[in-house]
């Protein structure tokens, strides 16, 4: 059995049971230090700080992931695209395309509680 980091009950609700944290409450929503954002569950590196931007949505937003780090699948509602850690399948949030926030035209909307931060 794979060993993962110990999660709080709220982290467990979001990462393992595909929950969502309240907007504008997450530690990394307005966080812009240089470094890497990793999966809180397994420590896999997911996003570089250079891809983070302010979308005003209330959750950390990224326009690019580290190659091969994030897996996409259609959400249960059939309308949104869920993003998961490619290493441990931990729920991260959702990805949206075509909104025009950045030249890459992609917004990974990620729960802060799904992430840990490693400063440069």
Residue 79 included in any domain: yes
The model's pTM: 0.94
Is the Cβ–Cβ distance between 70 and 87 less than 8 Å?
no
Question: In CATH, what number is assigned to the domain containing residue 95?
Answer: 2.170.150.20
Tell me whether residue 109 is one of the annotated catalytic residues.
yes
Domain count, the chain: 1
Residue 92 neighbours by CB distance under 10 Å: 30
Query: Which residue range(s) make up the domain with 23?
Result: 9-119
Q: Which of 42, 57, 88, 109 is catalytic?
A: 109
Q: What is the pLDDT of residue 1?
A: 63
Residue 50 included in any domain: yes
Residue 51 included in any domain: yes
Q: What is the pLDDT of residues 33-47, one digit of tens each?
A: 999 999 999 999 999
Q: What is the pLDDT of residues 92-118, one digit of tens each?
A: 999 999 999 999 999 999 999 999 999
> How far is 87 from 68, CA to CA, in rounded Å?
9
């Amino acid at each position: 059995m794979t060993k993962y980091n110990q999660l709080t009950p709220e982290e467990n609700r979001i990462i393992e049971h595909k929950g969502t944290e309240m907007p504008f409450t997450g530690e990394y929503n307005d966080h812009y230090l240089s470094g890497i954002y990793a999966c809180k569950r397994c420590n896999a590196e997911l996003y570089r700080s250079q891809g983070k931007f302010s979308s005003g949505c209330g959750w950390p937003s990224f326009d690019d992931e580290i190659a091969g780090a994030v897996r996409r699948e259609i959400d249960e509602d059939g309308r949104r695209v869920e993003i998961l850690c490619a290493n441990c399948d931990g729920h991260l949030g959702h990805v949206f395309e075509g909104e025009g926030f950045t030249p890459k035209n992609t917004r990974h909307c990620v729960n802060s509680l799904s992430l840990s931060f490693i400063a440069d």
